[in-house]
């Protein structure tokens, strides 16, 4: 076989101590760590492309990336072991496989699932403080569920984008599923769609938390969507409650 081989990498990470996915000068990032380790392993300068860029403090259970490598010295299983041996413990490679040159982690994706976790109790346990957003007062989960149903379907989500002007592909998205579930003191917001705008899931979570606190009526969700204007009714929830859970192909 000739030419470089393209690999798909499924990975998970604790984003607490990283400045997000994307390489940035003088910052430690997930992409930067992958590219540093691959350079050490292959002596090549390799660009690693992800399904999407997660922000600083955001975690992943099912991020997908790809890269091309000229060297074929290692099998995918050996490459996975080598990556996990050299990457920080906060980043783990779950699977490596050779894929066709047409596969692209971002452009081949058909959908994504995110989950946002809230600890709704008087006290936040120290061991989950990096992975749960703490809301002390009881949240009205039923009101949050009503609001979430208004936000399902295909809509213009400009009012839920942190910067709608940067969206070159427009601001219409199809949210196939937006649910709010509570078990004990944990509330989980699950969002599944064909794609999400910049900080859109955190904006949805921020709005639903405001609804749960009784600060915003759940039925205003439809009017906010229709307005297309970002206001204080839609705050951006903190990053550490958010997980990129799965990417669909």
Nearest to 61 by CA among 123, 14, 99, 109: 14
69: Cβ–Cβ under 8 A, 6 or more apart, which residues?
Answer: 4, 5, 7, 38, 42, 44, 46
Q: Is 55 a catalytic residue?
A: yes
Query: Which of 55, 140, 156, 217 is the catalytic position?
Result: 55
CB 138 within 8 A of CB 162: no
> What is the residue whose two structure tokens read 């599944």?
192
Contact (Cβ atoms closer than 8 angstroms) between residue 211 and residue 142: no
- What is the Cα–Cα distance from 153 to 160, expressed in whole angstroms? 14
Q: For residue 34, give the nearest of 1, 69, 4, 58 by alpha carbon.
A: 69
Which positions are annotated as active-site residues? 55
């Amino acid at each position: 076989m000739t030419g470089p081989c393209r690999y798909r990498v499924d990975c998970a990470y604790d984003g607490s101590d990283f400045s997000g996915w994307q390489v940035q000068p003088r910052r430690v990032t997930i992409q930067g760590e992958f590219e540093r380790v691959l350079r050490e392993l292959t002596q090549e300068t390799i660009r690693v492309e992800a399904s999407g860029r997660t922000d600083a403090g955001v975690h992943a259970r099912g991020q997908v990336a790809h890269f091309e490598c000229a060297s074929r010295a290692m099998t995918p299983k050996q490459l996975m072991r080598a990556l996990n041996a050299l990457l920080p413990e906060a980043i783990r490679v779950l699977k490596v496989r050779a894929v066709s040159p047409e596969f692209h982690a971002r452009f081949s994706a058909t959908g994504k699932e995110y989950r946002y976790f809230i600890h709704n109790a008087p006290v936040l346990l120290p061991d989950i403080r990096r992975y749960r957003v703490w809301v002390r007062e009881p949240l009205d989960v039923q009101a949050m569920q009503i609001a979430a149903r208004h936000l399902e379907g295909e809509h213009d989500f400009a009012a839920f984008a942190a910067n709608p002007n940067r969206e070159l592909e427009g601001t219409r998205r199809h949210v196939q599923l937006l649910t709010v579930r509570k078990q004990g003191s944990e509330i989980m917001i699950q969002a599944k769609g064909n794609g999400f705008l910049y900080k859109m899931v955190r904006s949805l979570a921020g709005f639903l938390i405001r609804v749960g606190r009784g600060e915003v009526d759940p039925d205003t969700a439809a009017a906010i969507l229709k307005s297309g204007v970002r206001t204080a009714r839609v705050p951006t929830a903190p990053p550490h409650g958010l997980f990129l859970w799965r990417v669909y192909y």
